[in-house]
Amino acid sequence: MLRRLLLPALLAVALGAGGCRGRSPGPPPERFVPAAVRAVVVVPETGRASRELAALHAAVSAFPGATAVAEARGTIAAQLGFDPLDPKGLAEAGVDARRGAALALLDAGGAPPRALLVLPVGDAARMDALLARLARERLGADLRTAEPRGTFSTVAFRRAAGEPIALAYLVTQRTALVSQGPGAADLVAEAAGLAPERALAGDAAFGAARRALGDAPAAIAFAPPGSPLLARAWPVRDGVALGLSAGPGGLRASAAVLLGPREPSFRALAGGGAAAALLARLHPEAQLAARWDGEPGPLGGKLVPMLSRADRARLAARGLDPQRDGFDLLAPGVALSLSLSPGLELTGLTEATLRADPLRLVRLEAVARVKDPERARAAFDRIAPPPRRPRAARAGAGSPAPGTWRIATPSGELAWRLDGDRLALAGGAPGALDALVARLDGGGDGFRAPTPAAGAALKGGLGGAVLDAQRLVAGVRALPEDAFGTGPSGFVVRSVVDRFLEPAARLSAVSLRAQLAEGALVLAAEVEVMPSAPQVRP
């Protein structure tokens, strides 16, 4: 039932009326939401959300296969009785687009959670008409009564006399509080009389999440510490906020993971590396580039325990410890690039075959610095013992000669070289390592981010990654026909892949950036859309 009324109404508010500036008097929506909320979506300024979502809707509607998205605007307008992307329509609904809105999910003492909708009122009479019409058309409740609750008077709608309340609302401080169900009048009255110290607006966790996300998001979803929704989600058990903003150029999403007592262990990740210069020497046609400028050791302390017991046992049987022989060896500033293997064959690609030969799927390059070259050499000798060289060929006294280690696979080789404290690794055809080393020594062009926003993700903070969508699409399209199999099954696989390639071809880049904020780990992602191709006129 919420889907029939409250969620479409919230979408209307989130879209808002474009072109509004400033804020009219009235408290923020979180003033009426209790801090002990299960989860809440806050739209700080509906006018801004309107401009961004309208532009995004127009851009996404042009994607191949996006007919449903293109039609969604008309469907929602039909449900609400006005177009929420039309500023005139929203004004006629009585909503003040210069202020914020919220949708909160509240605990109800063992009963199913209750929803509270907070709307900014620009015209009380028009707002009343909107809610009365929605109650009648969406809930079949056209009997209107006044329901006093303490010092507040609520407006309730029922299907008939003697039946439970279907919808109730009240207006206070130019804000409409709306809820559904038998307890709706009590719920909106409690929200109106909520003490400031119990409100989400003054909650420390919500404030920390808002500061971590900054002013960029046009909409924020928040689940506080202790929310039942986070009970089994241990990475975000101390609270999490998700921020969204959009425009004609794409979609931006950020997550602020509150750290609570875990913050010291995350502060240990900070390392001040400078992998951007190394990234610029990786393969110029790489489809994915990533960097880690934090401390690899503490990062391994968080990632290695996620390995399956079988994987750890398999490594231990070879005398290898991924923490000791990998993460602990590296200094801050690690650069990595990946691309699809030109010999990729989707048929027969299983977890077992990838474990035996990962180069069937990808080609890779990586560059890093090691903290202790001698310790690194000892670890590499355990991983891939080098062949014994004649005595005359062994390095003399002084600086040790560069060491090279290789592991052959059916699809190529994984090779790495340690020169001083510089570690270079390449996986692919024989000779890939030499090409990487030549670029590191100043020969030839390297990787360049496809857009300025993608380039920003490869600098600062803990780390970042960039997917060049155009190169990825080109790489898949360049695969030979037999890479997808033969016969009818191959045709089906190719058709499925093409279905994903069509919308992917409209993207320019997907980027991710990680950084630490006060009390939070912030992960920011951006999906960039290619500019629409100009129409050719006859």
C-alpha of 407 from chain center: 36
Place of tokens 């503490």: 298
The whole-angstrom separation of Cα 402 and Cα 194 is: 69
**pLDDT attached to residue 179:** 96
Q: Are 155 and 169 in contact (CB under 8 A)?
A: yes
Token digits of residue 230: 């986070």
Here the tokens at position 1 are 């039932």
Tokens encoding 400? 């040790």
What would the two tokens of residue 191 be? 């929200």
Cβ atoms 145, 158 nearer than 8 A: yes
Alpha helix locations (H) across 140-221?
184-192, 204-213
Q: Look at the block and give the residue holding tokens 């909106």.
A: 188
Alpha helix (H) ranges present in 81-121? 87-92
Stated pTM of the model: 0.86
Residue closest to 287 by CA, chosen among 361, 217, 367: 361
- Of 225, 281, 191, give the one whose Cα is nearest residue 520: 225
The SS3 call for residue 421 is coil
Residue in 338, 368, 277, 339 with CA at minimum distance from that of residue 475: 339
**Angle at 262 (CA atoms; ends 260, 263), nearest 5 degrees:** 80
- Model pLDDT, residue 537: 30
Contact 6, 117 (CB under 8 A): yes
Concatenated DSSP letters of 322-350: TTTTTGGGBPS-EEEEEEE-TT---TT--
CA distance 108 to 114: 6
pLDDT given at position 450: 96
Q: Which residue type, as a one-letter code, is found at position 396?
A: G
Give me 253's structure tokens: 């999403």
Q: What is the pLDDT, as a whole number, of residue 202?
A: 94
Q: Identify whether the C-beta of residue 144 lies closer than 8 Å to the C-beta of residue 131.
A: no
**Helices 6-15, 67-80: inter-axial angle, 10-degree rounding:** 110
Task: Write down the pLDDT at residue 73.
Answer: 66
pLDDT of residue 10: 45
Tokens of 490: 């191959």
Residue type, 252: R
Q: What is the pLDDT of residue 58?
A: 73
CA dist 375 and 491 (Å) reads 51
Residue that has been written with the tokens 């879209």 in this structure: 15
Nearest to 158 by CA among 176, 170, 140: 140
- Residue pointed to by tokens 């994607």: 63
Q: For residue 345, what are the contacts with CB-CB under 8 A and spacing of at least 6?
A: 360, 482, 483
**Nearest residue to 176 (alpha-carbon basis) of 224, 220, 218, 134:** 134
Please say whether the beta carbons of 33 and 116 come within 8 A.
yes
Helices then strands, each counted (H, E), the chain: 17, 19
Output Rg (C-alpha) for the chain, integer angstroms: 29
- The pLDDT value recorded for residue 390 is 55
List the chain pLDDT tens, one digit each, 538 residues: 444 444 444 444 444 433 333 444 689 999 999 999 999 999 998 778 777 777 776 777 666 666 676 667 667 766 766 666 666 777 778 888 889 999 999 987 777 899 999 999 999 999 999 999 999 988 999 999 999 999 999 999 999 999 999 999 999 999 999 999 999 999 999 999 999 999 999 999 999 999 999 998 999 999 999 999 999 898 999 999 999 998 878 889 999 999 999 999 999 999 988 899 999 999 999 999 999 999 999 999 999 999 998 888 988 888 889 999 999 999 999 999 999 999 888 887 888 888 889 999 999 999 999 999 999 999 999 898 866 655 554 544 444 457 999 999 999 999 999 999 999 999 999 999 999 999 999 877 899 999 999 999 999 999 999 999 999 999 999 988 888 888 888 888 888 888 888 888 989 999 999 999 999 999 999 999 988 643 333 3
Bridge partners of 409, per DSSP, are 412
The domain locations on the chain are: 2-232, 264-384+401-466
Give the pLDDT confidence score for residue 62 in this predicted structure.
63
Residues facing 416 on adjacent strands: 405, 425
Q: Quick one: DSSP state of residue 370?
A: B
Angle at 203 between CA 197 and CA 208, to 5 degrees: 155
In 3D, which of 384, 402, 379 has the Cα closest to residue 330?
A: 379
